[in-house]
Structure 1
Amino acid sequence: MPQDPKTTVKEAYDEIAEWYLAWAQNHQTPRERYTRKMLSEAGDSPYILELGCGAGVPVTRMLLDSGSRVVANDISDVQLKMAKTRCPEATFIAGDMTELSFEEKSFDGVVSFFTIFHLPRSEQEDMLRRIYGWLKPGVLFVFNLATLDEEEIHGEFLGHGMFWSSYGVEENEAMIRRVGYEILELEVLEAGDGKLDETDPDYGVKFVWIAARKPV
Structure 2
Amino acid sequence: MAPPDPHLLLSAPSRELKSHNASTYNAIVARYNAWTVWHNPARLHYLNLLLPRLPSTGTCILEVGSGAGDPGTALLTTTLPEAHIIANDISIAQLSLLQARLAAEISAGKVEIRQGDMMDLTFAEGELDVVVGLYTVIHLPREEQGELVRRLGKWVRSGGWILLNFAGKESEGTVEIGWLEEGKESQNVMYWSSWSTEESRRLVEEAGFRIEIAEIGGPEDFFWVLAQKVE
TM-score, L = length of structure 1: 0.88
Matched, 1:83 2:98: yes
Shift of 1:126: 0.8
Instruction: Look up the SS of the partner of 1:133 in the other structure.
Output: helix
Instruction: Look up the SS of the partner of 1:185 in the other structure.
Output: strand
For residues 99 and 37 of structure 1, what CA distance do their matches in structure 2 show? Answer: 29
Instruction: Look up the SS of the partner of 2:125 in the other structure.
Output: coil
Residue 69 of structure 1 corresponds to: 84
Structure holding more helix per residue: 2
Question: Partner letter of residue 102 of structure 2?
Answer: C
Matched, 1:28 2:40: yes
Residue 155 of structure 1 corresponds to: 176
Residue 114 of structure 1 corresponds to: 135
For residues 132 and 40 of structure 1, what CA distance do their matches in structure 2 show? Answer: 21
8 A Cα contact 2:165 2:224, kept in partner = yes
Q: 1:93 aligns with which of 114, 130, 148?
A: 114
Distance 1:140 1:86, change over 3 A: same
Report how many aligned residue pairs link the two structures: 203
For residues 179 and 63 of structure 1, what CA distance do their matches in structure 2 show? Answer: 25
Residue 18 of structure 1 corresponds to: 30
Matched, 1:48 2:69: no
8 A Cα contact 2:150 2:203, kept in partner = no
Matched, 1:57 2:70: yes
Q: 2:151 aligns with which of 114, 123, 130?
A: 130
8 A Cα contact 2:42 2:218, kept in partner = no
Residue 185 of structure 1 corresponds to: 213
Question: Partner letter of residue 94 of structure 2?
Answer: Q
TM-score, L = length of structure 2: 0.82
Shift of 1:41: 2.0
8 A Cα contact 1:25 1:57, kept in partner = no
Question: Partner letter of residue 63 of structure 1?
Answer: L
Question: Partner letter of residue 170 of structure 1?
Answer: E
Question: Partner letter of residue 211 of structure 1?
Answer: L
Q: 1:39 aligns with which of 51, 65, 71?
A: 51
For residues 47 and 140 of structure 2, what CA distance do their matches in structure 1 show? Answer: 22
8 A Cα contact 2:40 2:71, kept in partner = no
Residue 185 of structure 2 corresponds to: none
Question: Partner letter of residue 215 of structure 1?
Answer: V
User: Relative to structure 2, which stretch is displaced further, 166-175 or 55-64?
Assistant: 166-175
8 A Cα contact 2:63 2:88, kept in partner = yes
Residue by residue over 1:113-132, the C-alpha shift from the partner in whole angstroms, topping out at 9 and shown as x without a partner, is 00001000011111011122
For residues 213 and 37 of structure 1, what CA distance do their matches in structure 2 show? Answer: 13
8 A Cα contact 1:110 1:142, kept in partner = yes
Question: Partner letter of residue 182 of structure 1?
Answer: R
Question: Partner letter of residue 171 of structure 1?
Answer: E
For residues 189 and 133 of structure 2, what CA distance do their matches in structure 1 show? Answer: 22
Residue by residue over 1:156-208, the C-alpha shift from the partner in whole angstroms, topping out at 9 and shown as x without a partner, is 321332100111111211222222211100111251xxxxxxxxxxxxx3210
